């Protein structure tokens, strides 16, 4: 039989024997996990806090950052493991769907326990938008397809203006900024 390339199939009893031995162990591990695991009971419209553990876009030192931001309203539930929130402010650029492990229910402060605590939103000072856009630095360069021209991603000094791609001819003081950009990418020894 083996000389002709035909291998006999294993009897089903040998496979069942192993699966029977594995099954009680898997069942006991499932029971242990189910004791400590609680299914989240979020509903649409609940107020929740979102963990900032994986956020890199919140400015400031890590130890001074809030561990949770919010509260946010739940807009939709995606199964039992994901929640979509109505985000704004710091989370505007983030995708609004978060796993349940990064969410915790919001509990407002009790007025009787904390009479002096007045939750007041911090007023963000208005940033004056200047008419002229001063370029702080160039971040990236790319070559336009089919043209012998480069386009540069520039960052402005005023945080109101967003980063944008400009051609070399549109950049004021381009020779000085381009020299600095090229030196940062490939510094000479």
Position 127 pLDDT exceeds 80: no
**CATH code of residue 97:** 2.30.30
Q: Using alpha carbons, list the distances in angstroms from residue 158 to 33, 72, 123, 131, 135.
A: 52, 29, 19, 10, 9
Tell me how many domains the chain contains: 2
Which of 105, 123, 146 is at the close of a domain? 105
Q: What is the DSSP letter of 154?
A: E
Position 165 pLDDT exceeds 60: yes
pLDDT at 109: 75
Banded model confidence at residue 11, pLDDT cuts 50, 70, 90: low
Position 3 pLDDT exceeds 70: no
* Strand order across the 150-156 sheet: 135-143, 150-156, 164-167
pTM above 0.75, yes or no: no
pLDDT at 113: 75
Q: Supply the range of the domain harboring residue 149.
A: 135-185
Structure tokens at 162: 């967003």
User: Nearest Cα to 69, choosing from 56, 83, 53, 81?
Assistant: 53
Q: Cα(138)–Cα(188) distance, rounded to whole angstroms?
A: 19
The mean pLDDT of 56-81, rounded to a whole number, is 82
> Strands (DSSP E) along the chain, which ranges?
47-51, 68-78, 82-85, 97-99, 103-105, 135-143, 150-156, 164-167
Position 187 pLDDT exceeds 80: no
In a domain, residue 127? The reply is no
pLDDT in tens, 69-124: 878 889 989 888 899 998 776 677 788 899 998 999 998 877 777 777 666 564 55
């Amino acid at each position: 039989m083996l000389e002709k390339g035909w291998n006999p199939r294993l009897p089903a009893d040998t496979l069942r024997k192993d699966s029977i031995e594995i099954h009680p162990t898997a069942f006991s591990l499932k029971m242990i996990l189910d004791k400590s695991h609680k299914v989240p009971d979020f509903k649409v419209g609940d107020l929740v806090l979102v963990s900032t553990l994986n956020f890199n876009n919140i400015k400031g030192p890590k130890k001074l950052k809030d561990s949770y931001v919010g509260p946010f309203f739940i807009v939709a539930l995606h199964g039992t493991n994901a929640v979509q929130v109505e985000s704004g402010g710091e989370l505007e650029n983030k995708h609004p769907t978060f796993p349940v492990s990064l969410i915790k229910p919001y509990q407002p402060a009790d007025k009787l326990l904390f009479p002096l605590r007045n939750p007041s939103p911090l007023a963000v000072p208005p940033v004056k938008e200047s008419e002229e856009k001063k370029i702080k630095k160039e971040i990236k360069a790319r070559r336009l397809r089919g043209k012998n021209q480069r386009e540069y991603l520039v960052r402005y000094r005023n945080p109101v203006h967003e980063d944008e791609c400009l051609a070399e001819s549109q950049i004021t003081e381009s020779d000085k900024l381009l020299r600095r950009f090229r030196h940062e990418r490939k510094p000479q020894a």
